[in-house]
Chains A and B, each alone.
Chain A
Amino acid sequence: MGIHTLDARRLFCPMPVIRAQNRIKTLAKGDILEVTCTDPGAKNDVPAWCRINGHEVVSIETEDDEIIIKIAVGGK
């Protein structure tokens, strides 16, 4: 199990979702992806994408203007 990071700052939805989706394609089940975003819309869109595609949002943290979404990669 690996921990990976994705910088999606300054991108507006749906780009953070697209970047997360494309990165997750390269990861294995159980891997963790930490996505850092600045678009508040990502707080809704990334979890929605995870729910419908079988991945789990482990946590969503906000630091200043940055949102860090931690995703556990599910079966694909």
Chain B
Amino acid sequence: MKYVLMFIETEEFATEFAALAPAEKEEAYRRVYQWFDDHADKITNRGSKLQGRETATTVRLDSGQLTTDGPFIEGKEVVSGFTEIDVEDLDEALRMVKTWPACPVIEIRPVAEM
């Protein structure tokens, strides 16, 4: 079954990360790359890391194509990246995210069959 993992940052995590020394940041990135390598056989699309929420632009097609600055949802938790995996079932996805070394929240969403 295919799932998209949505990596979600909290304000606290973002602040802590920003305060890291360059070497520590590098080490944090290394752990993330390592995680992707460890699960390479289950990752069908590495997806992307996203730029910060302050760079978001939202278009509301249902409100006369209203274009606004900022993310659609205002909140302390923001999606900061995503990746697609193909695993046996939800339990396997849950096992996989347990070792995720970065942001503190992950939403697991099954991909709709189209």
Q: Please say whether chains A and B are actual partners in one complex.
A: no
Give A contacts to B, CB under 8 Å. Answer: none
